[in-house]
Amino acid sequence: MPIWIQVLLLTATTIYQSIASWLEDRSPPPGKLISVGSHRLHIYTVGEASPTIVLDHSLGGVEGYFLIQELSKLARVCIYDRAGYGWSDRAPSPRSSDQIVKELNVLLSKAAVEPPYILVGNSFGSYNVRLYAHRFPEKVAGIVLTDALYETEMLEMTASLKVLRIIFTLGFLMSTLGSFLGIVRLLRILNIFELLKPELRHVSKDSLDSVKRSFCRPKHWITMTREMMNLDRSARQARAAAYFSETPIVSIKASSFFKPSIWTLVIPLKSANRLRENMHIKLCTLSAKFFQVEASSSSHFVWVDQPEIIVDAVKKVLSETDPLVAPIDSP
């Protein structure tokens, strides 16, 4: 293809990206934008009953939109977009767990979301909810961890996994450029998201649109890169959150980091799964009331593969905090 045609196509997709983003921004967000100092965070609440379920997403994820309707049948649910994701502003401060926890506490206070909280942390979000529970134990009734990380193993991962992390980071940087040029939005139109992850076809259109909207924005990929670059810092900060005594914790363990496929042949999947196994062994020491649940048909992305497992885990925590709530079968 001649270079002038390539330039013309990229110019067209870039202009389309700008126009589409402008049109999206004319519609109000589903929740509220609240200032936490230097920037605003988006918070969205549904439901009424106490305690409040507060969900912190994975690295680069805004998957709470997939879960909010089912969880709201159990209690009040609060999801928020960390700085740089979804409808939230970008933030100048480092994207580490310590800073994220500070911002979340200010956000919940300003939004008048009263404790007690059941914290749900997906993947990287597990660092954040653990640190929050450590800093504010009087506000936390229980914790759900979804294929969580554990700091010692993450800080001591093998050379091959460190290389994989660098490759992921470079991919985020390339995706930042792709989102500026409108290529990610073009992939959205072509339903590439659903092609790569067929389980997304079972998600409601509104919640999927909320997630896709974020992935089409350069700030989303920039924030993913910043969180990844601060991942070791977050791990060291999470060391303080080592034990929670009688706080009920349900930890969901996926069957594999990625579901085996052709492309997983080129990544160190065995090493990644061995790392996960070791992390889940360490996670079992977090509380005297610790329960592990197997997500036997799920990859690391439990919130897409088996979201009902997360709902059941919240039910389990509710049954531990309120004897009137019917418990699920003990894991």
| Mean pLDDT of all residues in 23-49 | 95
Mean model confidence pLDDT for the chain: 93
Q: What is the pTM of this model?
A: 0.92
**Dihedral of CA 151/156/161/164: which sign?**
positive
Taking 50 as the threshold, does the pLDDT of residue 15 lie above it? yes
In the chain, the domains with their CATH numbers are 3-321 (3.40.50.1820)
Displacement of CA 268 from its chain's centroid (Å): 23
Convert the pLDDT of each residue in 216-225 to its tens digit: 999 999 999 9
DSSP track, 145-178: EES---HHHHHT--HHHHHHHHHHHHHHHHHHHH
Taking 50 as the threshold, does the pLDDT of residue 329 lie above it? no
Round to whole Å and give the CA distance between 271 and 17.
39
Q: With bands split at pLDDT 50, 70 and 90, how would you rate the model's confidence at 328? A: very low
Which residue is associated with the tokens 């979000």?
A: 125
Convert the pLDDT of each residue in 196-219 to its tens digit: 888 999 889 999 999 999 999 999
Taking 70 as the threshold, does the pLDDT of residue 324 lie above it? no
Q: CB-hemisphere CA count at 13 Å for 113?
A: 29
Taking 60 as the threshold, does the pLDDT of residue 323 lie above it? no
